[in-house]
């Protein structure tokens, strides 16, 4: 009861029991977060450095690890721009036009959120694999998708598809299209409207979506696991490399994992910074 009053009482002078409840809630939240998030994160870095800096350096500078870093960056560098374009187009379509099947499109954008990544990988195998629908045709034309970089990119694009679009749609909905209409009557062309009016208005939300999309693209494991084939130095992204090392060399696995964790922490840091500096623009003023 006191906990409920603590949540609903904003402003005014809180009573003694409410203050106690507040402190209790805050402490509880901090403990849960520390236990579930902060502690494991520290553990990764502790484990990575347990055998000393030299070991750490050797572990992450192995050719296989460097190849994994390069592959992860390559896949993200292809998947993220693709999803930026898709996300902008989808958000624009969803917020500026009415058409039959709009609800279906909205549901489809969310599909990757609800489908298990493993299933996503299996779907790709079914379509592009050697015995898949397009597999023989692709093989005849010398294109390998599964167990190669294109498959990794496809899997990553599928899994990260909703991030940009879902970030933009609520903002664009709130903003409406009056400014675009004003620009149109002032003589601006479609591209001029997009680059001078629409894009600047959603830039922070877009950047935010890109960051989330990028974090997921680099960290994706399930879908990529299915289509990769685990060829060291060829189709192993960072998460896959960590997984393989984990079976052989415990500490080296944590050294590589710490790289991945570092990328995540960096992304989170930039996200916080953006929220702090541009909070109003992000919430769709």
Taking the C-alpha atoms of residue 125 and residue 20, their distance in angstroms, rounded to an integer, is 56
Question: Do 235 and 147 touch, CB atoms closer than 8 A?
Answer: yes
Residue 57 near another protein by CB under 8 A: no
How many residues contact another protein, by CB under 8 A? 16
**Closer residue to another protein (CB): 116 or 179:** 179
Question: Do 163 and 82 touch, CB atoms closer than 8 A?
Answer: no
Give the nearest distance from C-beta 190 to another protein in angstroms.
9
DSSP, residue by residue, 193-221: HIIIIIHHHHHHHHHHHHHHHHHHHHH--
What are the backbone dihedrals phi and psi of residue 148, each rounded to the nearest 5 degrees, phi first?
A: -150, 175
**Closer residue to another protein (CB): 197 or 245:** 197
**Closer residue to another protein (CB): 50 or 285:** 285
Binding track, positions 183-222, relative to another protein; x by CB under 8 A: xxxxxxx--x---xx--xx---------------------
Taking the C-alpha atoms of residue 53 and residue 158, their distance in angstroms, rounded to an integer, is 38
**Closer residue to another protein (CB): 114 or 185:** 185
53's CB contacts (< 8 A; 6+ apart) are none
**Closer residue to another protein (CB): 150 or 284:** 284
Segment contacting another protein by CB under 8 A, of 53-61, 180-188, 235-243, 255-263:
180-188
From candidates 178, 247, 248, 276, binder to another protein by CB under 8 A = 178
DSSP, residue by residue, 243-258: HHHHHH-HHHHHHHHH
The residue with tokens 């990764």 is: 44
Q: Residues interacting with another protein, by CB under 8 A?
A: 178-179, 181-189, 192, 196-197, 200-201
């Amino acid at each position: 009861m006191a906990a409920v009053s603590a949540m609903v009482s904003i402003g005014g002078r809180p009573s003694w029991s409410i203050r106690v409840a507040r402190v209790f809630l805050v402490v509880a939240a901090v403990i849960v977060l520390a236990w579930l998030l902060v502690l494991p994160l520290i553990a990764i870095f502790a484990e990575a450095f347990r055998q000393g800096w030299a070991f750490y350096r050797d572990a992450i500078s192995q050719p296989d690890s460097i190849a994994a870093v390069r592959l992860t960056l390559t896949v993200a560098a292809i998947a993220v721009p693709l999803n930026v374009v898709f996300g902008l187009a989808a958000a624009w379509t969803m917020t500026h036009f009415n058409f039959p099947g709009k609800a279906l499109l909205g549901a489809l954008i969310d599909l990757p959120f609800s489908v298990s990544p493993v299933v996503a990988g299996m779907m790709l195998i079914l379509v592009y694999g050697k015995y898949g629908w397009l597999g023989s045709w692709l093989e005849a034309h010398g294109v390998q998708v599964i167990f190669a970089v294109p498959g990794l990119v496809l899997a990553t694009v599928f899994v990260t598809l909703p991030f940009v679009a879902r970030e933009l749609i609520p903002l664009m909905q709130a903003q409406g299209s009056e400014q675009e209409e004003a620009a149109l009557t002032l003589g601006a062309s479609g591209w001029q409207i997009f680059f001078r009016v629409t894009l600047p208005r959603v830039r922070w939300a877009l950047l935010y979506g890109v960051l989330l999309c990028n974090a997921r693209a680099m960290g994706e494991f399930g879908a990529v696991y299915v289509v990769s084939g685990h060829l060291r130095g060829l189709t192993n992204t960072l998460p896959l490399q960590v997984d393989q090392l984990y079976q052989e060399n415990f500490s080296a696995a944590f050294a590589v994992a710490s790289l991945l964790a570092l990328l995540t922490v960096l992304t989170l840091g930039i996200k916080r910074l953006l929220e702090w500096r541009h909070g109003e623009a992000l919430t769709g003023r």
